[in-house]
C-alpha cells in the first residue's frame, strides 16, 4: 500500500501543495495504529485492513513528499539530507522497540518452548493497549515535524523532452563527459519510457527480497539457539541503530561518489553476510551472541542503503523537480520484492529451511547489483567513469531511441 500511495500522493502534492498531503498522511498513519486497538479484538482480517492497508496508505502518502521537500533545500547535499530523513524512519524502531517491550513484556516472560510463541495471559492482554500508546507517541512526533516543515521557493526549470533526455542520457559521448551539475526535469510519463527507470526498478525489486527476509527472519533465526528475549530485543535495537546511522553514512557516500559505486560495494559485503549468516549458529554461549549481533548489525547497516540509493538515483537520473512522483513509481518495486519474499517464507517451513531463505536472499542481492551496474549514472566522478562501462556495452548492444523499448 505504501508503494501505491507514494506516486499518487506525489502527484497530488504538485497540484495542491505538500501540507494537505502530509497532514492527511499523518492522520491516516497514527489513526490506523490507534484503531488497531479494536482490530486485534475483531480478528486477523481487521488487523490487515486497518494496520496494513490503512496504515500503509498513510505512511506511503507522506514518504516521498517529505523526501522531496527536505532534499530540495540542499541540492548539493541531497544524499546526506535523504540519509538524515530516512535515518529518522530507520531510527523509529530504536525508540519504539524498548517502549513496546517494557510495556508488553516488562518481566521478560519466556516464550512457550513447544509453540515457540508467547502464551502468558497478562502479556497478551497488554498488546491492544500498546497500540494506543504507540499511536499517541507517533502522532505527537508527526505534529512537531509537520509544524517545522517548509517548502523551498520554486525556480523555473525547463522540463526536458523525451528527445532531449534520450540524446543527453544515452549518447555514448555523454557517458564519458558527464555534466554533473546540470539540473534536469524529466516528467513522469517520459520516465516511464526510459530503460534506466526499469533497470533501477529491477535493482530495487531484487534488493527488496533480502531486506524483507532479514527483517522478518533474523529474530526467528536467533531464537532457535539463543533463548533470551531481552537479548534479542537488544539486538533489534542495535540493528535499528545501524539502520539509522547507516542511512546517513550512505547518504554522505552518495554525495561524494553518486549512487552506483556505494551500492555496488554495499551489495558485495551484503551478499557475503547473507550467505554466511545461516552458519553462525554453530557457535554457542557468548560467541553465539557476539557473532549474532555482529552479523545482524552489519546486514542492517548494508541493506538500509537501498532506501538511500533509490531516491538518490531517481533524483540524479531524472531530476529533483518531480522526485516525489518519480521515486514513488520506483518504490513500487518493493511491492513485487516484498511479495516474493513473503511467498518464499510461506512455501518452506521456517524452522527447517532458514538456511535456504538467506542463501536466496544473497542471490537476489547479486542480481540487484548487476542491474544497477547497467544504469547510467551521470554524476559518477570522472576518475570513476569505468563504473559506466556496462552502460556503454548496453548502448552498443541495444541501440535505439529508448533502451526500454528494445526488442
Look at residue 301 in the predicted model and tell me its pLDDT: 94
Bridge partners for 160 per DSSP: 186
Q: Where do we find the cell 506525489?
A: 10
138 in Cβ contact with 14 (< 8 Å): no
CA distance 109 to 90: 27
Long-range contacts of 73-80 (CB under 8 A, 24+ apart): 73/152, 75/183, 75/320, 76/255, 77/255, 78/254, 78/255, 78/312, 78/315, 78/320, 79/250, 79/251, 79/252, 79/253, 79/254, 79/255, 79/259, 79/308, 79/312, 80/248, 80/251, 80/252, 80/254, 80/255
- List, as one string, the DSSP characters of 158-177: PPBPHHHHHHHHH-HHHHHS
* Residue 167 DSSP one-character state: H
Compute the distance between CA of residue 391 and CA of residue 395 in angstroms, rounded to an integer: 6
Per-residue pLDDT tens, the chain, 407 aa: give them. Answer: 777 888 888 889 888 989 999 999 999 999 999 999 999 989 899 999 999 899 989 988 988 899 889 988 988 888 899 999 888 877 777 788 788 888 988 887 777 767 767 777 888 888 999 999 999 999 999 999 999 999 888 765 555 555 555 555 544 433 333 344 456 678 888 999 888 999 999 999 999 999 999 988 898 888 888 878 778 878 988 888 899 999 999 999 999 999 999 999 999 999 999 999 989 988 888 898 999 999 999 999 999 999 999 999 999 899 888 888 999 999 999 889 988 888 877 776 554 567 888 999 999 999 999 999 999 888 888 787 877 888 877 877 765 444 444 33
pTM > 0.75: yes
CB 58 within 8 A of CB 27: yes
Q: Give the three-class secondary structure for 160.
A: strand
Nearest to 218 by CA among 294, 315, 150: 294
Q: What pLDDT is attached to residue 76? A: 84
State the Cα–Cα distance between residues 120 and 295, nearest whole angstrom: 31
Measured between alpha carbons, how far is 185 from 340 in angstroms, rounded to an integer?
A: 33
The confidence score (pLDDT) of residue 363 equals 95
2-151+160-405 belongs to CATH 1.10.3720.10: no
What pLDDT score does 265 carry? 94
What is the residue-wise DSSP string for 342-394? HHHHHHS-HHHHHHHHHHHHHHHHHHHHHHHHTS--TTS-GGGGGGGHHHHHH
C-alpha 173, offset from chain centre = 33
Sign of CA pseudo-dihedral 221, 222, 225, 229: negative
- Are 288 and 225 a contacting pair, CB within 8 Å? yes
Angle between helices 195-223 and 323-331 (to 10 degrees): 50
**How far is 135 from 359, CA to CA, in rounded Å?**
37
pLDDT value at residue 172? 40
Amino acid at each position: 500500500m505504501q508503494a501505491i500511495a507514494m506516486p499518487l500522493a506525489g502527484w497530488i502534492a504538485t497540484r495542491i501543495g505538500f501540507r494537505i498531503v502530509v497532514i492527511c498522511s499523518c492522520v491516516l498513519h497514527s489513526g490506523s495504529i490507534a484503531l488497531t486497538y479494536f482490530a486485534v479484538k475483531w480478528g486477523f482480517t481487521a488487523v490487515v485492513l486497518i494496520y496494513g492497508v490503512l496504515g500503509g496508505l498513510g505512511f506511503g502518502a507522506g514518504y516521498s513528499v517529505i523526501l522531496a521537500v527536505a532534499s530540495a533545500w540542499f541540492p548539493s547535499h541531497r544524499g546526506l539530507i535523504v540519509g538524515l530523513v530516512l535515518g529518522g524512519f530507520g531510527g523509529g524502531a530504536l525508540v519504539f522497540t524498548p517502549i513496546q517491550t517494557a510495556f508488553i513484556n516488562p518481566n521478560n516472560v519466556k516464550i512457550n518452548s513447544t509453540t515457540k510463541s508467547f502464551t502468558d495471559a497478562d502479556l497478551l492482554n497488554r498488546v491492544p493497549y500498546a497500540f494506543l500508546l504507540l499511536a499517541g507517541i507517533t502522532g505527537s512526533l508527526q505534529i512537531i515535524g509537520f509544524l517545522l516543515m517548509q517548502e523551498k521557493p520554486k525556480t523555473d526549470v525547463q522540463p526536458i523532452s523525451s528527445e532531449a533526455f534520450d540524446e543527453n542520457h544515452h549518447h555514448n559521448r555523454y557517458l564519458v563527459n558527464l555534466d554533473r551539475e546540470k539540473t534536469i526535469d524529466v516528467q513522469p510519463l517520459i520516465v516511464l519510457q526510459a530503460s534506466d527507470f526499469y533497470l533501477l526498478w529491477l535493482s530495487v525489486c531484487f534488493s527488496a527480497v533480502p531486506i524483507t527476509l532479514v527483517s522478518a527472519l533474523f529474530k526467528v533465526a536467533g531464537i532457535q539457539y539463543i533463548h533470551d528475549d531481552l537479548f534479542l530485543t537488544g539486538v533489534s535495537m542495535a540493528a535499528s541503530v545501524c539502520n539509522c546511522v547507516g542511512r546517513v553514512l550512505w547518504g554522505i557516500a552518495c554525495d561524494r561518489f553518486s549512487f552506483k559505486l556505494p551500492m555496488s560495494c554495499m551489495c558485495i559485503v551484503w551478499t557475503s553476510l547473507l550467505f554466511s549468516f545461516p552458519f553462525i549458529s554453530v557457535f554457542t554461549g557468548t560467541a553465539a551472541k557476539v557473532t549474532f549481533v555482529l552479523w545482524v548489525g552489519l546486514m542492517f547497516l548494508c541493506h538500509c542503503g537501498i532506501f538511500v540509493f533509490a531516491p538518490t538515483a531517481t533524483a540524479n537520473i531524472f531530476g529533483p523537480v518531480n522526485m516525489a512522483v518519480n521515486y514513488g513509481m520506483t518504490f513500487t518495486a518493493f511491492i513485487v520484492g516484498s511479495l516474493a519474499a513473503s511467498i518464499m517464507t510461506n512455501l518452506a517451513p521456517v524452522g527447517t529451511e532458514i538456511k535456504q531463505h538467506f542463501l536466496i536472499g544473497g542471490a537476489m542481492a547479486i542480481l540487484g547489483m548487476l542491474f544497477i551496474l547497467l544504469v547510467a549514472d551521470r554524476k559518477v566522478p570522472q576518475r570513476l567513469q569505468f563504473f559506466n562501462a556496462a552502460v556503454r556495452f548496453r548502448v552498443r548492444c541495444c541501440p535505439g531511441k529508448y533502451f526500454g523499448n528494445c526488442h
